[in-house]
Every structure is written in structure tokens, then in C-alpha cells.
Structure 1
Amino acid sequence: MTAPVESGASHPGELAEPYEFAGVPDAFQRLWTPHRMVYIGGEGKPQSDAEHHCPFCEIPSRSDDDGLIVARGELVFAVLNLYPYNPGHLMTVPYRHIADFTELTPDEGAELSLFVQQSMIALRAAANPMGFNIGINQGVVGGAGIAAHLHQHVVPRWGGDMNFMPIVGHTRVLPQLLHETRALIAEAWPATR
């Protein structure tokens, strides 16, 4: 049995405060992702159905690179997820600020569907995924992070992409910066049919 660590303790046998162990070398490596606290804390998420301060309403006014926009259509656009589940995680979003799938016009629904197809084509060309998760989290209770503005997720998947990191370490490992991913997918985006 080993004796208690006494680093920082003022009397022999006294244990140090837990914060004093921060930075003490051990067998673990750590991936710090402090930028995730912005998402966890809800910063930038609309608190009501109001259009002001909606990130999906503001993104189209930015440049493609600054807004992480992959493609723009007449009624919808494709954008990289700022907090991706996997590399290349796209969202197809109507420009119009609506919360419910049933509010889409037939033209918006058709272009949203077309953009999902084009997302798959571009992601296959850029990153060769083995499969996809495609879906809409409808409403807060349904898991929508930004429930006030409808958006559909297109998540590329590879065998073994769900390793121990997200499960045990609550950390996602992304091998590429978002701006580099956006450029690759935008370059692979298919021409309008």
C-alpha cells in the first residue's frame, strides 16, 4: 500500500487539496475542449421562436468560409456543424425561419431533400464514408439544439468511428479543422442537376 501523496500539504500525513494535483504527471493524456462549454452553456442558441439572434438566420449573411457554408440554394443552404458528431457533419437549413417540418413549402421540402442527396454525393467524393446518419431532431424534447430554426443533419459514418473517446472520455477526436473540411466538401459539391 502506498502512502498518501503529500504535495502541497502543510503537515506530515495531511492530504493535499484535489486542485493541487492538476498538472501532476500521471499515466493519462487529456484532450482539453474548452470551446465545448459555449455549446453546453447554450450561448448563441435562440431562447424563443424570435428570429433575432438565430445563428441559422445570421449565417447566410457571412462569407462561405466564415459561415462554414458548403453550398447555397434558392431556399436552403448546407453548412458544417460547428459542434460536429463526426468530421464532415453537415446540416441542410431553410433560409426561412421556421421551427416545424410541416411548415416547409413544397419547394423548400424539395430543395431540402435535394441538398441531402448532394451532401451525400459531396461527402462520398471528399471523404469516402461507409454510411450516413440522416435526420431531423424536431423540437427541444426531440433533441434539437436550435429548435427554433428547422435543420436536417447529414452525418458521415465510418466503421469504428465510435471508439472509446466519446463513450469513456466524452471527447470527439476530429482529424481536420472545420475550414479545411468545408473547403473539401464545397469543392466536391455536385453541380445542380
Structure 2
Amino acid sequence: MQQPLWAPWRMEFIRSEKPAGCIFCDFPAAPEAADRGNLVVHRSAHAFTCLNRFPYNSGHVMVIPRAHVADLGALGPAEWADLQEELRRAAAVVKAVYRPDGMNVGMNLGRAAGAGIADHLHWHVVPRWIGDNNFMPVLADNRVVVEALDEAWQRLHAGFAALGP
């Protein structure tokens, strides 16, 4: 017998006003006071890290260059080096804060590859635990999310602060 499952965040996404521009350009351009609302947990000279709101999974962050580019080769050496350092830092913070059994780290290059925002490069860092992908996604195309976005922001922001600049 099928059981209905509750996924209220989907309606929030469907009904939410879609920004006219690129959120990955808007977030680092906003004052740091807006970081919590934008889910930005860390900024570096050429990159930043923020939580992924849609679809949200506990501790899922994205590492994003400030430059609006869709091609890896379009980043200059300093931008590339800073982006990779931010990725290394984000993986270290996620590991320290969430203590996962493993992590998925990767990029979706282009819409055909699954990029939701195809015009702006971004890395995904997703903590994983043995057994976390239980029967829910297989049977019902749903995930069990164990932590609210704001709590995740607090923990990850503190983790970056503890790691230092």
C-alpha cells in the first residue's frame, strides 16, 4: 500500500520567486550581513561556499567561483587556485562538522549533465553516511533530512571560522 510522504520544501521551491539574474553572482556581491539569509558560510578572495537550498541535504554545500563562467578554462590561475583552496577548505569543514563516512564531491558541467545553474561553475560537496540513502529515495523518491538549513548554516559557518582564514 502506498503511503503519502511529506516534502513541503518542494512547494517552497515551486512557488518561490525566481531571481532575474544569477544568484551565484548576487550572493558574493551582497553585504556580508546578508550571508545567513543567502546561506553563504564562507568567502575567499575569488570564491565562496554556500549551502544548497534546493534540493537540500544535510551539510550539502556548493563551492563557487565569484567569476561568472561556465567553462573551467575560463578561470585565471589565481581564480582557479583560490577555488581549489576553497574546495579543500569546504571538504575539511564538512568532515569536521558532520563526521561523515564519506563525501560526494563533483561538478555538473552543462544542463545536460544536471547543472541547475549551468552558466556558473560550482562544486558540490555532500557528506554521506553508511545507510543514509536508505529505502526512501528508492521507494518514494524522497530523502529524510535530519537538520534544518539554519542549523546547518550555524554549524558550517562556525566550522569555517574555527579553521581560520
TM-score range, shorter chain: 0.7 to 0.9
- 1:183 positional shift: 0.9
TM-score, with structure 1 as normaliser: 0.75
**1:116 aligned partner:** 87
Amino acid of the structure 2 residue aligned with 1:184: R
Within-5 A mapping of 1:90-169: 90-169=61-140
Q: CA RMSD in A?
A: 2.3
Q: Where is the helix percentage greater, Structure 1 or Structure 2?
A: 2
Q: What CA deviation, in whole Å up to 9, does each residue of 1:153-186 have, x standing for no partner?
A: 1111110111111121111111111011011011
Give the secondary structure class of the aligned counterpart of 2:111: coil
Higher relative contact order (Cα pairs below 8 Å, separated by 6+ residues) = 2
Q: Distance in 1 between matches of 2:121 and 2:137?
A: 26
Within-5 A mapping of 1:12-27: none
Q: Distance in 2 between matches of 1:137 and 1:42?
A: 23
Spell out structure 1 runs of 4+ moving beyond 4 A. 37-43
Q: Distance in 2 between matches of 1:188 and 1:79?
A: 13
Give the secondary structure class of the aligned counterpart of 2:112: coil
1:33 equivalenced with 2:7 (yes/no): yes
1:65 equivalenced with 2:53 (yes/no): no
Q: Distance in 2 between matches of 1:105 and 1:42?
A: 35
Q: Distance in 1 between matches of 2:12 and 2:114?
A: 17
Structure 1 residue runs of 5 or longer lacking an equivalent are: 1-25, 46-51
Give the secondary structure class of the aligned counterpart of 1:172: coil
Q: Distance in 2 between matches of 1:137 and 1:157?
A: 18
